[in-house]
Structure formats: C-alpha cells, structure tokens
Structure 1
Amino acid sequence: MVVSFILAASLLGAVSSTIASSQHHSIIHTFPNLTACASETLEYSCENTTAVKDSCCSVVGGGLVLQTQFWDTYTGLEKKGQLLPKDTWTIHGLWPDNCDGSFDQYCDLSRQYDPNPSPAVLPDGTHVPPYKGPSVETFINDFGRTDLLEYMNTYWINQGGSNEEFWGHEFSKHATCTSTFDVACYGSTYKKHQDVINFFDSVIRAYKWYPTWDMLAAAGITPSNKTTYTLSQFQNALKAQTGAVPYLGCAQNGTVLSEVWYFHHVKGSEQYGHFKTLNSTTTSTCTATGRIHYYERTATSERVVG
C-alpha cells in the first residue's frame, strides 16, 4: 500500500515536471536582434550630434518618449468584469513624439491592428483601414504569454471598450512609429507579431518606473471626493521623486485630474535603453490658479490586486 502510494506520487511528480517543462519551453522569446549595437556609439535621442547609423540600436524619429497613464474612476464595462486596480493608476501607453513635440501615427499600415483607428485619415490623406482580424489578445496567447496577458488585463484597462481593442490601438498608432520596433530589427528569425509582444513588454517596463498613486500618496495627496489640490502640489510631489515635472492632464475645464505623461530621451533601444527623465514640453491642461479634484473611484469599479 505504501509502495503504491510512493509510486503514484512519483508518477504524479514526473507528469507535473513534464507539464511544467512543456509550458516553459512553449514561451517564445521576443527580443530583437541587437548584436550590431555593441559596436555602436550611443547618444540620447534628440541629443545626437551625428546621424544614427543603426535605427534598431537607437530611437530615430519619435525620440521624445512619453510614458503615459490614466486616472479613470470607472470603466463602463464593470458588468463584464473589466475593473480598475485599486490604489493604482493604469497604463495608457508609450508614445514616440518627435524632438520638436510633434508626432506621427499609424506609420506602418501593414501592422494596423486597431479596430477603430483615430484619426481614420492621416494628414497626408491616407485612410487608416479598421482592423477586422483576430484581436491582439490572440497574438499574446500564440506566444504562450499568459503572464503578460494577466498583467495587461490588470493594469492596462480601457474605458468604454474592450482592453484588447485599446492595446491594438496603442501598438498600431505609436509602436509602428518607433524605429526600434521595426520588423527588420528582429532579424531573419522574426516570428509574426513578435514585435507586438515585445512592445507590450516594453510598455510595462516603463510603466513600472512610475507608481504615480504611491508617489502622490507619499506626499499626502490621495483621491478624495471632498479635498481638492493645486497643480503645483501635484507637480512638486512628482518632481521630488522623478527629478522632472511631468505633464498633468485635466478634464472639465481643467478641474478634474485624469492623466499624467512622463517625458524622456532614450539612450539605446526603447525596449532596453536608458530613459532620461525630462520636464514636460507640453503645457498642462489643469488650472494653474484654481483647485483640482482627484476623485475617488466608484467602489464597484475597483478590485484589489496583489
């Protein structure tokens, strides 16, 4: 009886190990081929004095990189289980503005995965076709990245639409205008949608540098339906921790805080390079003289996350 139990436990352990091993090997790496970058002389984007030789090694165009976040108080899809993470701002994206503050969008329509592109027509008259294929969620699953999908469904939340539509929008509008996510950067072993997964990982990497809720709370600034704050209180609290003044966006004539953008120049690739934090080059839409609401979220719109 004891022998049978030991044998069964042993077999169970072997099966578990086989499954774990299979799951481990099913994950496909998505990093680009940056072997040529070891011999490159790198400078921060928008600060280089000579032309960049390899646009996979350094960000060319879109060199003013913004890590952007939302403070939403509801999702509109609560009945479908789409909730906001408690005490945490959510991801908006990773944007490649040009060095002069302008920006390009939807730069590669062969990698257009946005079901509702906005704008639908680019300044040169090019029409951006709505994407009608499988959602980007299927791309993530194809690469065995259930860990990535879980994180995105926790911290990268849409308002009024599905999360995967939002993710497809952010990749198509922004990542396709960043040189280090070009398909050519992944070399001859490129697997379709590898760049998409690599971008999502890179967005999360940058997002984790800026725990906005914690930085504000540490300065005594927390969401409230009664207390209001000044723009300088928000700016000073975030500058004290990041070394620079980010852009703060407000709705309702500048009185309701809704978003933050952290500005950078990048040395190396956007995926793994060094981000130098800069003062915002965009004027805040929050009132500079009045009081600003940083509202609490609707209780039924939040969930506690680990």
Structure 2
Amino acid sequence: MRNFAVCMIVAVGCSTFGCTPTLAGPDHSWDILIFTQHWPNTVCMEWKEKLKQHTCILPRIKNSWTVHGIWPTKLGTIGPQFCNHSLHFDPEKLQPIRGKLEQEWLNVYNGTTTSLWKHEWKKHGTCAVTLPALDNETKYFGQGLAWIEKYNMENVLARAGINPDTKGYSPQQVWDAVHGALGKTPAVECVRDSETGNWFLAEIRICFDKNLTLTDCDGIKRDDASIKTNCPSEKLVIYPGKVPVFQQEDTDRTTWLLSALRVIQWLQWITL
C-alpha cells in the first residue's frame, strides 16, 4: 500500500513492475481569442521604414482593414503558441476561400501569398484547434473572414467620424469609437515613425470567448493601461489615407540629385 500511495503522487498510473513518472508537457490552455485587424497603410509604412527597398501589397479595395490573425490567449500573458507541430499547413485546403483570403487576409509584406497564412496557422491556429469551431484550417481562416465582414474597423471607425486622412485623433477617440460600437473593451495598437516622431494607428484587437461571442479584452497583456493601448495618451495618432512618404526617402533623393549635379559640373570642367 505504501508503494502504491507514493506512485499516485508522481505518476498517473502504475504497472505491475512499478511506476513510471510522467512529465507534464507545456501548458497550451487558453482563455479567449484575440481577433486582430491591421491597417495596411501603416503596416506598409513600418515595413518600408525597416528598408526603403521593401515593397508592399495593398488591398484592391481602398481603405480596407485586413486580418492579421486569430490568437488564442491565456489572460495575463502571451500565448500559447506553436501548440502542435504535427498539424502541417496545407494551402490546398483553403482553395474554396482563397479568393476572399487574398483580399481580406493578405500578406502586406509582399511575401508569397500563403506565407502569412502558414505562419498564423503554425503559431496560432494549432492552438485554436482545441475548439471544435476552429479545429481545421478551413474553419480557422473562415472564421477570420466572417469576423472581418461583421466587425470591419473601417465601418466601425467611420460611424464615429474617424476616417483615413492626415488628421490626428486621440487614442481615446479611437478606443471610444470601437467600444461604443461593440459594447466591449478593445485594444488599440500604434507604431511610431522614428524619422518624424509621429504615431500611426496600426492595429485594433477585439476579443471573443470560447462560444465565439464578443467579450472584453480585459486581462490580455498590457492590462496596466487605463485603456488598452500602447499609443501615447498625450499625442494624436494619424490614421493615414495612404502610405506615408518617409523623410529619409526625401533625404536620399536630395543626396542623389546633389551627386548627379557634381558629376555634371565635373564633366563640364574637364571639357573646358
């Protein structure tokens, strides 16, 4: 009896020949789903800022927000991620919805058409499959399409008078617009242009419970803020109507013109 009692502490079960301890695997449990839409003009700006030669793919329909991902998330932390390496990505399974995905869930970074989908499936979709409503590629990506059709941030913001242009809006205005339309707490993400110091609206995140019902994003990472945002409360954020042109690009163009002018002047001098 003493041996059996000890074994129950260290293992799930015992065999005739004794007990074999079982090590607990990584915790892949999660509480809510974060549905993230991003603003392609800002995404492209950030991509080009890393390297000016970078090119982007923008939606065919102007002013369309696009899906970044559906992220199963444990409250108070980030993740889980990459939950099942045996669930390989198969783009053929997405053929029935591929046309819509290429418009609504496109890869702004000008990579291969499926590279973003593969990344999102491996990192997040393999964790979402524990929910029957999302237990395969078609369901997972199809749910993203259904949600962006119903909760497209272009429409949500426009109803509050927030439209793409060079005018700045306070983070509170953006947050209030989403909260007012949906009745749930969102999260708003911005990025900063290192050249100008300006802040740009980048992503809006809304949350769903395991019944795929809208819920508050309270408890997701960044829960120390009075409103869920990384945007500076004291500054206006730009919701750009087109991809911003960088100051660095202007500087490079000026440098090139000056170099060309020097060459012309040198050629004129040697022909005198």
TM-score w.r.t. structure 1 length? 0.57
Q: Residue 145 of structure 2 is aligned with which of 204, 208, 213?
A: 204
Corresponding position of 1:231:
171
Q: CA separation in 2, counterparts of 1:231 and 1:204?
A: 26
Identity of aligned residues (%): 23
The structure having more radius of gyration, on CA atoms, is 2
**Match for 2:58: what amino acid?**
L
1:297 to 2:255 alignment: no
Q: 1:278 maps to what in 2? A: 216
**Using a 3 Å threshold, how does the CA distance of structure 1 residues 254 and 163 change in structure 2: closer, same or farther?**
farther
After superposition, the CA RMSD in angstroms is 2.5
Q: Is the 8 A contact 2:201 2:238 kept in 1?
A: yes
Partner of 1:25: none
- Residue 90 of structure 1 aligns with an amino acid whose one-letter code is T
- Per-residue Cα deviation, 1:147-186 (whole angstroms, up to 9, x for no partner): x1110011111122223100111111101112435xxx69
Q: Extract unaligned runs of 5+ from structure 2.
A: 1-27, 48-53, 223-227, 245-272
1:258 aligns with 2:202: yes
d(CA) in 1 for partners of 2:81, 2:31: 14
SS of alignment partner, residue 123 of structure 2: helix
The size of the alignment, in residue pairs, is 193
Q: Please say if residues 254 and 286 of structure 1, whose CA atoms lie closer than 8 Å, have aligned partners that are also in contact.
A: no
Q: 1:64 aligns with which of 19, 32, 45?
A: 32
- Residue 108 of structure 2 corresponds to residue 159 of structure 1: yes
Corresponding letter in the other structure for 1:295: P
Aligned partners of 2:180, 2:160: CA distance in 1, in Å? 9
| Correspondent of 2:91 among 103, 128, 137 | 137
Offset from partner CA, 1:92-114 (integer Å, 9 cap, x none): 1111001333311111111244x
Match of 2:58 among 83, 107, 132: 83
- The one-letter code sitting in structure 2 at the alignment partner of 1:206 is W
Counterparts of 1:137 and 1:244, CA distance in 2:
34
- 2:79 maps to which residue? 103
Output the CA distance in 2 between the equivalents of 1:290 and 1:218. Answer: 22
Shift of 1:238: 0.8
The 5 A counterparts of 1:165-204 are 165-180=115-130, 195-204=136-145
Task: Report the residue type matching 2:83 in the other structure.
Answer: C
- From the superposition, tell whether residues 179 and 198 of structure 1 become closer, same or farther in structure 2 (CA, over 3 Å): closer
The answer on whether the counterparts of 2:198 and 2:238 sit within 8 Å (CA) in structure 1 is no
8 Å CA contact retained: 2:188, 2:229: yes
| DSSP 3-state at the match of 2:91 | helix
- Paired residue type of 2:242: R
Contact 2:63–2:241 (Cα < 8 Å) also in 1: no
Shift of 1:200: 1.2
2:232 corresponds to which residue? 287
Q: Helix, strand or coil for the counterpart of 1:101?
A: coil
SS of equivalent residue, structure 1 residue 111? coil
Contact residue 129 and residue 136 of structure 2 kept, 8 A: no
Shift of 1:212: 0.5
